[in-house]
Structure 1
Amino acid sequence: MYLETLYIKGFRSLAEATITFQPGVTVLVGENNAGKSNVMDAIRHLTSPLDGRRDLHLRREDLHRDGCPEEGHRDTCRRAIEITGRFTSRNLDELAIYNQAMNSDHTSIGYRLTYTPPAFSGQRGTVSWRSGETETADHDPEPAARERIRHLYLPPLRDAQRELASSTSSRIQYMVERLLRDEDERRGFIADVDKRFADIEDLPPLTTAVAQVQRGLTRLTEGVALQQVGVGFADATLASITRALRLRMEQAGLDPRDLAQSGLGYANLLFMATVLTQLQDAAEADLTLLLVEEPEAHLHPQLQAVLMDYLAEEAARSQQRETTGDSWLGRIQVVVTTHAPHIATAVGPENLVVLQRYRHTDSQSEASVAGPTAEVGAVGDRPEPREYRSKAVAIADLRLAEPVLNKVRQYLNATRNTMLFGPRVLLLEGIAEAILAPVFADRVLDRSGVQRLRGTAVVPIDGVDFEPYLRILLTAERLGGHRIAQRVAVITDGDFFGLDPKRKVDRLGHLRGILAELGAGEDTARVFGNTTTLEPALMTAAPGNLPHLQEAWRNQRPNAWAGDWDALRTRPEKERPRMLADMFGQYRIRKGDFAQHLLEVSAEIGPLTPPAYFRDALQWITGKESSDAR
Structure 2
Amino acid sequence: MHLDRLHLRGFRSAADTTVSFQPGVTVLVGENNAGKSNVMDAIRLLTLPLDGKGSGLHPDRDDLHRDGCKEGAHGEGCRTTFELSARYRSTAPGDLDRFSQAFDEDGQTASYHLTVTPPPTGFRRPTLSWRAGGGATTDLDPEPRAREGIRHLYLPPLRDAQRELASSSGGRIQLVVERLLRDDDVRENFLKEVGEQFGAVEAIDPLPQAIKAVRTRLTRLTEGAHPQTADLGFADASVSSVARGLRLRMEQAGLDPRDLAESGLGYANLLYMATVLTQLQDAAEADLTVLLMEEPEAHLHPQLQTILLNHLAEEACASHQRRPEPGSTWLGRIQVIVTTHSPHVATAVAPRNLVVLQRRPWHTPSTTDGASTAASGISAPSRPSYRTTAVAVDRLKLDKRDRYKIRSYLNATRNTFLFGQRVLLVEGIAEAILLPEFARLTLVDERLQRFHGTALVPIDGVDFDPYLRILLHPDSESGDRIARRVGVITDGDAGSNEKAARTRIRKLDALVESMDAHDLARVFHNEFTLEPEILRAGGPNRNLLIEAWKEQRPRGWADDWKAVGDGSPAEQAKALSELLKDKDKIRKGDLAQTLLAEAAARPNGAPPLVVPDYLRAALDWITEEPAR
Q: Is residue 498–residue 504 contact of structure 1 (8 Å, CA) maintained in 2?
A: no
Equivalence for 1:458: 456
Q: Is residue 60–residue 125 contact of structure 1 (8 Å, CA) maintained in 2?
A: no
Equivalence for 1:354: 356
Equivalence for 1:547: 543
Equivalence for 2:7: 7
Q: Is residue 3–residue 88 contact of structure 1 (8 Å, CA) maintained in 2?
A: yes
- Cα distance change, pair 499–362 in 1 and its aligned pair in 2 (3 A): same
Question: What SS is found at the alignment partner of 2:182?
Answer: coil
Question: What SS is found at the alignment partner of 2:581?
Answer: helix
One of 507, 512, 520 as aligned partner of 2:517 = 520
Quote the Cα distance in structure 2 between the aligned partners of 1:364 and 1:512: 39
Q: Is residue 248–residue 256 contact of structure 1 (8 Å, CA) maintained in 2?
A: yes
1:477-516 C-alpha deviation (Å, 9 max, x unpaired): 1233110011111111112x55456656332221111110
Quote the Cα distance in structure 1 between the aligned partners of 2:12 and 2:228: 65
Question: What SS is found at the alignment partner of 1:156?
Answer: coil
Equivalence for 2:97: 96
Q: Is residue 365–residue 373 contact of structure 2 (8 Å, CA) maintained in 1?
A: no
- Cα distance change, pair 492–179 in 1 and its aligned pair in 2 (3 A): same
Quote the Cα distance in structure 2 between the aligned partners of 1:526 and 1:137: 55
Quote the Cα distance in structure 2 between the aligned partners of 1:6 and 1:194: 50
What is the deviation of 1:221? Answer: 6.4
Equivalence for 2:30: 30
1:579-616 C-alpha deviation (Å, 9 max, x unpaired): 21121232431110110111011113342111111001
What is the deviation of 1:27? Answer: 0.2
Equivalence for 2:116: 115
Long gaps (5+) in structure 1: none
The alignment's TM-score, normalised by the length of structure 2, stands at: 0.93
- Cα distance change, pair 350–502 in 1 and its aligned pair in 2 (3 A): closer
- Cα distance change, pair 222–458 in 1 and its aligned pair in 2 (3 A): closer
Q: Is residue 530–residue 613 contact of structure 1 (8 Å, CA) maintained in 2?
A: yes
- Cα distance change, pair 369–44 in 1 and its aligned pair in 2 (3 A): closer
1:124-145 C-alpha deviation (Å, 9 max, x unpaired): 3310111112265633111111
Quote the Cα distance in structure 1 between the aligned partners of 2:207 and 2:122: 61
Q: Is residue 355–residue 393 contact of structure 1 (8 Å, CA) maintained in 2?
A: yes
Question: What SS is found at the alignment partner of 2:96?
Answer: helix
One of 507, 510, 516 as aligned partner of 2:507 = 510
Q: Is residue 499–residue 578 contact of structure 1 (8 Å, CA) maintained in 2?
A: no
Equivalence for 1:336: 338
Aligned-pair identity in percent equals 55
- Cα distance change, pair 554–217 in 1 and its aligned pair in 2 (3 A): closer
Matches within 5 A, 1:193-232: 193-217=194-218, 228-232=229-233
Question: What SS is found at the alignment partner of 1:608?
Answer: coil
Does 2:472 match 1:474?
A: yes
What is the deviation of 1:209? Answer: 1.8
Quote the Cα distance in structure 2 between the aligned partners of 1:599 and 1:527: 26
Worse-matched range after superposition: 167-176 or 427-436: 167-176
Q: Is residue 493–residue 534 contact of structure 1 (8 Å, CA) maintained in 2?
A: yes
Quote the Cα distance in structure 2 between the aligned partners of 1:372 and 1:191: 72
Q: Is residue 97–residue 326 contact of structure 1 (8 Å, CA) maintained in 2?
A: no
Q: Is residue 170–residue 246 contact of structure 2 (8 Å, CA) maintained in 1?
A: no
Q: Is residue 65–residue 73 contact of structure 1 (8 Å, CA) maintained in 2?
A: no
Quote the Cα distance in structure 1 between the aligned partners of 2:150 and 2:483: 34
One of 580, 583, 594 as aligned partner of 2:579 = 583
- Cα distance change, pair 219–81 in 1 and its aligned pair in 2 (3 A): closer
Quote the Cα distance in structure 1 between the aligned partners of 2:560 and 2:570: 17
Equivalence for 1:312: 313
User: Which residue identity does 1:298 align to in structure 2?
Assistant: H
- Cα distance change, pair 162–136 in 1 and its aligned pair in 2 (3 A): same
Does 2:291 match 1:290?
A: yes
- Cα distance change, pair 447–346 in 1 and its aligned pair in 2 (3 A): same
User: Which residue identity does 1:534 align to in structure 2?
Assistant: L
Equivalence for 1:609: 610
Equivalence for 1:597: 594
The alignment's TM-score, normalised by the length of structure 1, stands at: 0.93
Q: Is residue 24–residue 334 contact of structure 1 (8 Å, CA) maintained in 2?
A: yes
Question: What SS is found at the alignment partner of 1:110?
Answer: strand
Quote the Cα distance in structure 2 between the aligned partners of 1:227 and 1:122: 50
| RMSD between superposed Cα atoms in Å | 2.3
Question: What SS is found at the alignment partner of 1:115?
Answer: strand
Q: Is residue 544–residue 595 contact of structure 2 (8 Å, CA) maintained in 1?
A: yes
- Cα distance change, pair 581–251 in 1 and its aligned pair in 2 (3 A): same
- Cα distance change, pair 325–2 in 1 and its aligned pair in 2 (3 A): farther
Matches within 5 A, 1:566-577: 566-569=562-565, 574-577=570-573
What is the deviation of 1:122? Answer: 5.7
Quote the Cα distance in structure 2 between the aligned partners of 1:537 and 1:365: 55
Question: What SS is found at the alignment partner of 1:585?
Answer: coil
User: Which residue identity does 1:442 align to in structure 2?
Assistant: R
Quote the Cα distance in structure 1 between the aligned partners of 2:445 and 2:221: 82
Equivalence for 2:43: 43
Equivalence for 2:483: 485
Question: What SS is found at the alignment partner of 2:159?
Answer: coil
What is the deviation of 1:117? Answer: 2.3
- Cα distance change, pair 122–282 in 1 and its aligned pair in 2 (3 A): closer
Quote the Cα distance in structure 1 between the aligned partners of 2:376 and 2:276: 60
Quote the Cα distance in structure 2 between the aligned partners of 1:502 and 1:50: 63
Question: What SS is found at the alignment partner of 1:274?
Answer: helix
- Cα distance change, pair 429–224 in 1 and its aligned pair in 2 (3 A): closer
Equivalence for 1:536: 532
- Cα distance change, pair 302–349 in 1 and its aligned pair in 2 (3 A): same
What is the deviation of 1:150? Answer: 0.5
Worse-matched range after superposition: 605-614 or 275-284: 605-614
Quote the Cα distance in structure 2 between the aligned partners of 1:343 and 1:504: 36
User: Which residue identity does 1:354 align to in structure 2?
Assistant: V
Long gaps (5+) in structure 2: none
Question: What SS is found at the alignment partner of 1:289?
Answer: strand
Quote the Cα distance in structure 2 between the aligned partners of 1:206 and 1:279: 42
User: Which residue identity does 2:205 align to in structure 1?
Assistant: P
1:371-410 C-alpha deviation (Å, 9 max, x unpaired): 999996xx55xxx311111111000011311111111110
